């Protein structure tokens, strides 16, 4: 039997590689007709890079990105709040990498093509729904719209839905499912710019209450002149804000005024923003945690299971951990009960029991106490005003504890990360 994977993003491809490494057959169905290197920046945290190392792709990824040295926090006035070393520089066995999302996706996709063979990867197949039957060997019928305009029914014994935040399979399981929007809109871009601070710094400035910027490099010496490709994200919360549209380009006039006076001796934020050729707008949305992912021979994974605010760089990490966890569950179930659909469906429930609650905690924490809670705490103590020194308000040890609390919940505290 084989496992059918709906969606060829980070979750689906990681899962396919994990299954192949365990000798378990699978096929991948991806909606886009052609896989291209699209998107902007992504950060691969140490617990994710450890998983990618086990899959044998980290060696190819490292030269394509920038290994983060540090994470640095500033208030909206550009005043230093907190700094900590990251990745290998703080004791992890694997790095924290900033890179172009399209490059990560390409490395995973190429690895799947090479290891599984092109016949196992089907592009231009958009899943629109499913039907479960009583036949164990082909217990699921997947309804697919093909890129050429035709439709097809794909029989499957076990299905793992990795089709993202707008998952058609999740929507069928939960017809009233909606994204949760709390008035936070974001704009993203990449700009060619000289290295900022160390040139390997993940930078947060401000908070959503005052306007927030997340800035980090993703490609070194992009122009042969020593400049980097810098990924930036602007976030603004407004009580009555309409939700940004994923499908529309961003407009400077919608957000630049918030950051117009963010000019520091170490960075001109408006100039960085205006240097971007293309700006994308997104709403910051997630979905309320579900009580169940697995229904018979179908389960959810990654953003289809637990879409979360893109804070703390944890969405992709949790998807990659999902992939390894389910592959382990299937392998263990097959070893004890044989490779059959019934054994696989038991594995799906085992996976759900291991991953549902931990990911729900990350979803809730990203809403209420994300890493930039460090800046929010500084703003609270300073009443939103400039200060002489952060040490007059709070110690670095107290701020470090906020950071460590998030790492514990997100699963990448140094003590919990595999060596």
pLDDT in tens, 189-242: 999 999 999 999 999 999 988 899 999 999 999 999 999 999 999 999 998 889
- The Cα 382–Cα 369 span in angstroms is 19
- Domain boundaries in the chain? 3-68+89-178+287-368
For residue 241, the 8-state DSSP code is P
- Quick one: pLDDT at residue 43? 95
pTM as predicted = 0.93
Task: Enter the DSSP assignment of 178.
Answer: -
Quick one: which of 201, 191, 196, 221 has its CA closest to 67?
A: 201
Task: Provide the H-helix boundaries in 261-302.
Answer: 269-274
Residue 224 pLDDT: 95
* Other Cβ atoms within 10 Å of 150 Cβ, number: 8
Q: For 395-418, write each residue's pLDDT tens digit.
A: 999 999 999 988 888 778 887 654
- The pLDDT of residue 416: 61
Residues 6 or more apart in contact with residue 383 via CB below 8 angstroms: none
pLDDT tens digits, one per residue of 2-58: 899 999 999 999 999 999 999 999 999 999 988 887 778 999 999 999 999 999 999
pLDDT band with cut points at 50, 70 and 90 for residue 419: very low
Which tokens hold the place of 167? 């998952």
Quickly tell me which residue has 């569950």 as its tokens: 329
Options 3.40.50.300, 2.40.160.20, 3.40.50.720, 3.50.50.60; which CATH number does 3-68+89-178+287-368 get? 3.50.50.60
Can you give the length of the chain in residues? 419
Percent pLDDT > 90 in the chain is 84
- How confident is the model over 256-269, as a mean pLDDT? 97
């Amino acid at each position: 039997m084989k496992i059918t994977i709906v969606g060829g993003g980070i979750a689906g491809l990681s899962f396919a590689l994990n299954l192949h490494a365990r000798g378990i057959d699978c096929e991948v169905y991806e909606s886009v007709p052609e896989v291209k290197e699209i998107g902007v920046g992504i950060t691969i945290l140490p617990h994710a890079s450890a998983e990618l190392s086990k899959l044998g792709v980290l060696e190819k990824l490292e030269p394509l990105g920038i290994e983060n040295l540090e994470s640095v926090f500033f208030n909206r006035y550009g005043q230093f709040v907190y700094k900590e070393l990251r990745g290998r520089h703080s004791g992890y066995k694997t790095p924290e990498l900033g890179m172009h999302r399209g490059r990560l996706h390409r490395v995973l996709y190429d690895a799947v093509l090479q290891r599984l063979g092109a016949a196992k990867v089907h592009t231009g197949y958009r899943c629109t729904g499913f039907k479960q039957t009583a036949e164990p060997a082909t217990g699921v019928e997947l309804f697919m719209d093909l890129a050429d305009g035709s439709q097809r029914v794909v029989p499957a014994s076990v299905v793992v839905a990795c089709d993202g935040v707008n998952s058609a399979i999740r929507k069928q399981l939960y017809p009233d499912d909606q994204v949760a929007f709390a008035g936070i809109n974001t704009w993203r871009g990449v700009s060619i710019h000289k290295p900022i601070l160390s040139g390997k710094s993940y930078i947060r400035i401000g908070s959503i209450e005052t306007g927030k910027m997340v800035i980090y490099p993703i490609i070194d010496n992009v122009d042969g002149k020593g400049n980097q490709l810098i990924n930036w994200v602007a976030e603004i919360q407004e009580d009555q804000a309409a939700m940004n549209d994923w499908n529309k380009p961003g407009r400077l006039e919608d957000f630049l005024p918030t950051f117009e006076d963010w000019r520091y001796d170490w960075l001109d934020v408006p100039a960085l923003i205006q240097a971007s050729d293309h700006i994308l707008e997104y709403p910051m949305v997630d979905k309320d945690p579900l009580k169940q992912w697995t229904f018979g021979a179908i389960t959810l994974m990654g953003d289809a299971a637990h879409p979360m605010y893109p804070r703390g760089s944890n969405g992709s990490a949790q998807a990659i951990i999902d992939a390894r966890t389910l592959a382990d569950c299937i392998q263990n179930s097959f070893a004890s009960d044989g490779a059959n659909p019934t054994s696989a469906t038991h594995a799906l429930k085992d996976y759900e029991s291991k991953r549902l609650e931990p990911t729900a905690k990350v979803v809730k924490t990203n809403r209420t106490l994300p890493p930039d809670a460090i800046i929010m705490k500084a703003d609270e103590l300073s009443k939103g005003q400039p200060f002489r020194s952060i040490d007059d308000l709070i110690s670095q040890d107290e701020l470090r504890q906020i950071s460590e609390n998030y790492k514990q919940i997100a699963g990448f505290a140094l003590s919990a990360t595999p060596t």
